[in-house]
Amino acid sequence: MPPLASFLSFCTLFFASGVFCGSYGLPFIDASYDYVIVGGGTSGLTLAARLAANSSISVAVVEAGGYYEVLNPLSVIPGFAAIQATGTDPSDTDLIDWGFVTTPQTGAANRKIHYARGKCLGGTSGRHFMVYHRGTAGSYQKWADLVGDDSYTFDNLVPYFEKSCTLTAPNTSERLANATVTYNPNVFDNSLDGPLQISWPNWASPLSTWIELGLAAIGIKPGADFNSGSLSGSTWVSTTINPSGESRDSSETSFLSQAMSKTGITVYATTMAKKIIFKNTNVAGGVQVEQAGISWTLTAKKEVIISAGAFQSPQMLMVSGIGPSATLRSFGIEVISDLAGVGQNLADHVMFGSVFRVQVTTSSRVTNDVAWAAEAVVDYASGTGPLTAGGFGVLGFERLPDAVRANLTSSTQTALATFPSDWPEVEYLALDGVLGYWKNGLGQFIDSYEYGSVAAALVAPLSRGNVTITSTDTNDAPVINPNWLTDPADIEVALAAFKRARQIWANVNITIGDEYLPGPNISTDAQILDFIRNSAVQVWHASATCAMGKAGDPMAVVDSTAKVFGVKNLRVVDASVFPILPPGHPQSNCYMIAEKIADDILSGR
C-alpha cells in the first residue's frame, strides 16, 4: 500500500475506533484492570499487546502523547527522520518530543543539549532512525552474569528477538547493484508472524557504497551480519521500515495496531501518569493519572508496570517513594523502598565525525535542488527513491586494532579489557549530509554542494551519568546528566576513533577539496578533542537507570524478571532496566526485554 494510502487508512480507523476490539479509556473516570502499564513506547506497547492477547487479562496503557502520524505526519517517512527535532539546540523540538535538555555537559564544552525522546504512542520508536540489529553474544553473557540468570545469554534470547518481528529480504531491483546486503535469515522466524517489520529500504545511499570501500581499506571488511550475535566488520544495516509502502514501523503501528484489532486492550492517550499508588505500605495497587488538570485513579488488580523510558521510569519511581532515600526525603516524599541505584548508572553512546563535500548524491540534495526534491517526493509515493531510507546505509563496527591499542595508556587498555572480547569499541556510520555540530537537522544544509559524514560512535563507553528529580510532580522534567566524555578512557578512544574516520575518508575517491569539518588545520590531539567536545552528539541510547541485578546488589533496582526490589506487584520494563548498554543500537533489545518479561508474567514468574 502506498504511504499516503496507508496514512489515510490509519486516519479512517483512528476516527472510527468502534471497529476495534481495543478501546480508548474514558478520562476522569476511575477504572480497574489487571495490569496498568505506564508508558506507550517501544517496550510498553509490546508488553501490553502480549499480555492483552490473553483474553482473560485486562490491560490498560497510559501514554502522555498521542499518535505521531497525526501530530507530525512527516515522521512516518524514513527520509525525514533527521529533521524530526533531533538537533542539539534546546529549541529544536516538536509536538511528539518531550523537549528534554541536559545539564551543562563538562565533557561536551559545557553545552546544554536537547535530548530527543518520543512523546507519542510508540515512544521513541516513532521518531528514531529505525536501525535494527542485535548485540554481541559476549555482551549478553555479561548481562546474564551480572543478573545471575542464564536466560539472558544470546542463545536463550534469540527466541524473544525472533518473536517480535518478520523479515523481508531486500528488493534488489530497486537498490544499486553495488549495494549488496548480507544477512542471516536463520536468526529470524517468519512463521511466528511477528508484528514488527524488518527490512532494507528501496534505496541504497551512493555515499555508503564508497564508505564501505573506505572501511574495508582500514580493515573493517564488508559481508557481516549484525543479528547473529557478532558486531565486527560492515554491512547495510536492517531497519524497522515496513516494506509495504516503505513507511516507519514502530511499536504503535505493529504491536498496538494488532492489539487494537484483536484484543480488549485499553489505551489512555494524552494522559499523564502522576504517581504509583501503594496499599499495605509496599504493594503497588494502581496509578494516579491526569488529563487537562483533572486526576483519577486506575487500579491494578495484579501489577503496575512502568515503561516510561530511561529518564522517566526512574522519575516515576522516585516521585512514588522508590529511590535514594536522601533524595526522596529532600522533597518530602515518603520512602517506600530505599534503592540507591534509581536514576544512577546512566549509559549512553556519543558520536562525532569528519565531513567532506562529495561528488555523489546525498540527502543534502533534498534542500538544494528543488526539482530533485520534487522527484524524490513523487518516487516515495510509489515506495521508491531516497526518502525510503533514513539518510544512512552502511554501518561498521570494530575493536580497535592492536597497532592503535598499543598507543593507548595502560590504564585505558585495562579499562577496555573489562569488556568481553567480542564487544567493539567503535561504530562507524556513513551519513548523508553534514553531521557537524547538529544544532538542528535542516540547519546542516548550507549551500549547493552535497555533503557526507563519517561518524564515529563510542559503543564501549566508560562514562556514566544520572537522572534525578526537581519536584514531586512528573510534569516537571527530570534532571538529565549523561556525563558524556568524562572518563579518561573515553577521551583516548574518541581521539583514536576520529583519526580512524579520517583514514576511511583517505581511502575514498569522491571528496571535493579539503576536509570541510573540522578542517585540515585541526590536527593536534588538543585541537581534535576541542572539536569533539564542541560537536559531540548523543546517539539517543540512554539506558540502565533502573538497572537489573542480583538481590543484595546495592545499586540494583529490579531483579531478572524486572520486579522492583523492596515492593510487590511492581515492575519496570524498558531500556532503563538494562544492567549494561549492549554495543550498537538498542532498539531490538527494547522489544526483546518486553517479549521476555511478558513471557515471565504469563508463566507466573
Please report, in range form, the residues annotated as the binding site for FAD.
Answer: 42-43, 124, 540-541, 586-587
Q: Pick out the residues of the known binding site.
A: 42-43, 124, 540-541, 586-587
Kindly state the cell numbers that stand for 524.
593536534
Residue pointed to by grid coordinates 489512555: 268
Cell readout for 438 is 547538529
Q: Does residue 114 have an active-site annotation?
A: no
Nearest-angstrom CA–CA distance, 327 and 32? 32
Q: How far apart are CA 150 and CA 359, in angstroms?
A: 50
CA separation for the pair 411, 421 (Å, rounded): 17
Distance CA 39, CA 321 (A): 19
Give the CA radius of gyration of the chain.
23
Rounded to 5°, angle at Cα 560 from 153 and 255: 80
* CA max distance for the chain: 70
Please tell me which residue in 114, 128, 349, 585 is annotated as part of the active site: 585
172-181, Cβ contacts within 8 angstroms, sequence gap of 24 or more: 174/202, 174/203, 174/384, 175/200, 175/202, 175/203, 175/204, 176/204, 176/206, 176/209, 178/209, 179/204, 179/205, 179/208, 179/209, 179/236, 179/393, 180/236, 181/235, 181/236
Number of Cβ within a 10 Å radius of residue 334: 10
H helix and E strand count, the chain:
16, 27
**Strand, coil or helix: what is 552?**
coil
Q: Give the side-chain half-sphere CA count within 13 A for 399.
A: 13
Active site residue 585: yes
Q: Is 552 exposed, middle or buried (0-12, 13-18, 19+ CB in 10 A)?
A: exposed
The Cβ-side half-sphere exposure at 204, using a 13 Å CA radius, reads 23
Q: Which residues does the annotation mark as catalytic?
A: 541, 585
